[in-house]
Chain A
Amino acid sequence: MWDFPFLPNQASTFAAEVDAFYFALVGVTAFFTIAIYAMIWWFSVRYRRGKKADRSNAPTSNHLLEAVWIIIPLGISLAIFGWSAKIFFEIKTPPQDAMQVHAIGKQWMWKFVNEDGKYEVNELHVPVGRAVEIKMISQDVLHDLYFPAFRTKQDVLPGRYTTLWFEATTPGTYHMFCAEYCGLLHSGMIGKVHVLTQDDYDAWLADAGGSATASSGGGSGNALVDGAKLFEEKVCHTCHKSEATAIAPTLVGVYGTDVQLQDGTTVTVDDAYIRESIKNPGAKIVAGYQPAMPTYEGQITEEQIVQLIAYIKSLK
């Protein structure tokens, strides 16, 4: 309790620059606050009523002064804008080769699925020194995934994927918060992010136990396996076979490629497209096919869609 922390841990590639920017702004704020207060203080003492002072020809306006205190703050604020825009683009633009993680927010827990299909709840293990991109979606209301030590956060919306990325620089365990009010246990929607050295991370990956119970509905503990099972349960496999049929295109090797649509446009097969095609199959039909697929809207959870995506991604 008698601890006076001022800064959160610096544990991502952004953190140092965000902090430097913050301290620059603290400096600007301190400068102007002190300058204004010094001015008021000086005038208050010097021109106190009853105190002898030169009050002759007191000016009531000065265009040059007005210009100065329009232009200087404008210059400062534009400089602030420029610096902040640079940081903003860095934080908002994940690198191409980032490790892919899925996150699902729901009242009131975070569920993660990593590249190998491993589940985690309210915990996330990541390797140090490697870019991690998290694709996030909400099962219900708005949430926001926030890692103070990485200086980044992003709202998690129902209905579409948003992304957040970071590259952790220092092994350790850091806070994970929900930053968008989401109802009763909003403040309980918290967890930990564990930044591990590559060796520790590999060991953690190899350890099959531990998080097996994390999957819901008695799943296997791996999203790829659950996705494959779901692919049969939802009878996807009756039309989407390993070779293209007259009814449906194959899904093997399709992830990440561009496919041509009926209307002549092309679309990249990514998470958002797969999700849309499950929920609203008629929206973007692949060229050469009829809209034969039924909608799964209302019959599938966001988590199941993530499992299917993980499975489809693994089809090579």
Chain B
Amino acid sequence: MPAEHYLNVKYGLKSWLLTKDHKRIAMLYLISVTVMFALGGLFAGLVRLELITPGGDFLSADAYNKAFSAHGIIMVFFFLIPAVPAIFGNFLIPIQIGAKDLAFPRINLLSWYLYIIGALLGISAILAGGVDTGWTFYPPYSSQYSQSHVLLAGLGAFIAGFSSILTGLNFVVTIHKMRAPGMTWFRLPLFVWAHYATSLIMLLGTPVVAITIVLLVVERLFGVGIFDPSIGGDPVLFQHLFWFYSHPAVYIMILPAMGVQSELVATFSRRRVFGYSFVAFSSLAIAIIGFVVWGHHMFVSGQSMYAGLVFSILTMLVAIPSAVKTFNWALTMYKGSISYETPMIYAIGFLGLFVIGGLTGLFLGAMGLDIHLHDTYFVVAHFHYIMVGGTVMGFMGGLHYYWPKMSGRMYPDGWGRLSAMIIFVGFNLTFFPQFIAGYLGMPRRYYMYDPDFHIWNIMSTAGATVLAIGYMMPLFYMAWSWKWGRPAGPNPWGAKGLEWTTQSPPTTFNFDETPIWNEEAYDYDPEEAEAEYEREFGTIN
């Protein structure tokens, strides 16, 4: 490890809270986002515990409604949206393109403070007694009927939104203006492409949800009729505005994880990502088409039948770039030199879960079937396959892949692989039964349910227990490795890319001098990797 690096260059709380170093800000995000993930997970645990039995016997109906709302609001606004970009994007984009920092280091720090203010408002809403609207805040319930702390939670999401806008702005400018000599657009790691596409959505979409929240607040506080028909509003208008952001927002959540996925598959197969330019452009295609599919959340909302038709066909189109990515990732392994360290286990898990998550999206985009499936547990299962099976697997894969770079030390790989496999099994046990309960007709957000759905809920809660164990393990071995882990060296995975040419942990300005990059992205040679392996270990068969 270098004698002086970004972690030990200065000590003390002030050196962290006033830092402008993108790597330190990433670490601040890592801690705060992990806390929010744990909190969101706690609420998920309460929900799953209540649902072990069909009756209502663990929580009250009110506490249950507040628990699933808290779970949704925390996970969406304070975990899934910032998780990969604000931690790994922040840490790696400047290093991957050969820059000293992001374009606007002070704004980067401001983003973190806005996130923290938003998160604290969200937490204070819970402590003050909770919110019971669900994360979707549909009026007129949220504006006129709910007695809970809608304003505090809404304000939290509103402020966290600006954190996301500023991060997006910072990434776009950085990627355009700060690439090192020779780092052309088509030599960028696909991680950077994915974050570029994400940033565009953050910049263009987030202001719309901010406006929507303001309108909701105006109706709730001042009784101005915007969404409630009894005072002259239209509740379907809210749904249009809300999903105009919140559907693209699911791409904000998944695209960065797809970026991680590209890195992992390439590195551990020792292969250039197959169809690089197709994977790169598919991120942009998802970002663009993703803006025009929002009405597929509203097939039974009272929206016109013909609007439904248009949104449905556009939804079918947005599936294509995701399919392109999936096939390219799988084919990247062809003729590779594949090894199975922890990050690769996550990458393989991601691929399979994402295929199921993506294809079940077609069930819901198909109007005739969505009528039956809408607002049932089928929807819950589908988006958890994308958000947990995709984003969280990508997040965990990225964490295990970049941890040696971020901390300078290796975690025990055996424990890593074990926890990855526990998470994979626990995940499927939790969410697969929900597809079946959903098709049977179990509505979501139900505190009590019909005994017909009992067995699937038992399985789901059992799975959640396994999943929780899997998620807790890294907390221990990662913390252990921070002090006792073996020093990683600059490039523990034998990976290509500028980030693996720097020290681990990197020094404050990442590079001693501006690097000049003359390679294509992922310039791997699997035959050379094999030869190297054979020199070191001999052949295994």
Contacts and interface: CB of A to CB of B under 8 A. Distances in A.
B9 to A, nearest CB: 37
Interface string B418-456: 000000000000000000100111011111111110110
B371 A44 contact: no
B359 A141 contact: no
A241 to B, nearest CB: 31
Q: Identify which of B273, B308, B371 gathers the most chain A CB atoms within 10 Å of its CB.
A: B371
Nearest to A147: B441
B325 to A, nearest CB: 10
Given A28-B362, A90-B368, A181-B445, 8 more contacts: A3-B455, A8-B441, A36-B330, A44-B333, A77-B317, A154-B300, A154-B371, A180-B138
B366 A21 contact: yes
A267 interface: no
18 contacts: A28-B359, A36-B330, A36-B351, A50-B533, A59-B335, A65-B327, A73-B320, A77-B316, A80-B316, A80-B362, A84-B369, A88-B305, A88-B309, A151-B372, A153-B300, A158-B235, A187-B448, A190-B450
B145 A188 contact: no
Given A148-B441, A159-B229, A85 B534 contact: no
B529 A49 contact: yes
A80 B320 CA distance: 13
B539 interface: yes
Interface in B224-242: 228-230, 234-236
Contacts of B514: none
Interface string B258-284: 000000000001111111111000000
Interface of A: 1-8, 18, 21-22, 25, 28-29, 32-33, 36-37, 39-40, 43-44, 47-56, 58-62, 65-66, 69-70, 73-74, 77-78, 80-81, 83-92, 107, 140-142, 144, 146, 148-149, 151-155, 157-160, 162, 175, 177-188, 190
Nearest to B134: A181
Given A50-B537, A142-B138, A146-B443, A73 B333 contact: no
Contacts of A180: 138, 375
Given A153-B371, A180-B375, A184-B62, A6 B338 contact: no
Given A2-B455, A49-B533, A84-B367, A89 B448 contact: no
Contacts of B108: none
Interface string B351-372: 1100110011011001111111
Contacts of B19: none
B443 A88 contact: no
Q: Which of A21, A55, A78, A185 neighbours the largest number of chain B CB atoms within 10 Å of its CB?
A: A55
Contacts of A66: 275, 278, 324, 328
B376 interface: yes
Nearest to A86: B368
A80 B366 contact: yes
Contacts of A1: 451, 454-455, 458
A62 B275 contact: yes
A154 B132 CA distance: 23
A188 B55 CA distance: 11
A181 B278 contact: no
Nearest to A180: B375
Among the interface residues A66, A86, A160, which one has the most CB atoms of the partner chain B within 10 A?
A66
Nearest to A73: B323
A50 B535 CA distance: 10
B212 interface: no
Contact of A47 (B61, B234, B336, B537): B336
Contacts of A187: 61, 443, 445-449
Nearest to A188: B448
A22 B360 CA distance: 10
Given A33-B352, A157-B302, A178-B443, A43 B138 contact: no
B189 interface: no
A296 B491 CA distance: 76
B205 interface: no
Given A159-B230, A180-B375, A21 B368 contact: yes
A8 B377 CA distance: 14
A306 B529 CA distance: 76
Given A80-B366, A87-B369, A177 B441 contact: yes
B412 interface: no
Given A78-B316, A157-B235, A58 B336 contact: yes
Contacts of A58: 271, 334-336, 526
B337 A47 contact: yes
Contacts of A91: 368, 371
Contacts of B61: 184-185, 187-188
B146 interface: yes
A25 B319 CA distance: 14
B475 interface: no
A83 B368 contact: yes
B58 interface: no
B195 interface: no
Contacts of A140: 140, 145
A33 B356 contact: yes
B527 interface: yes
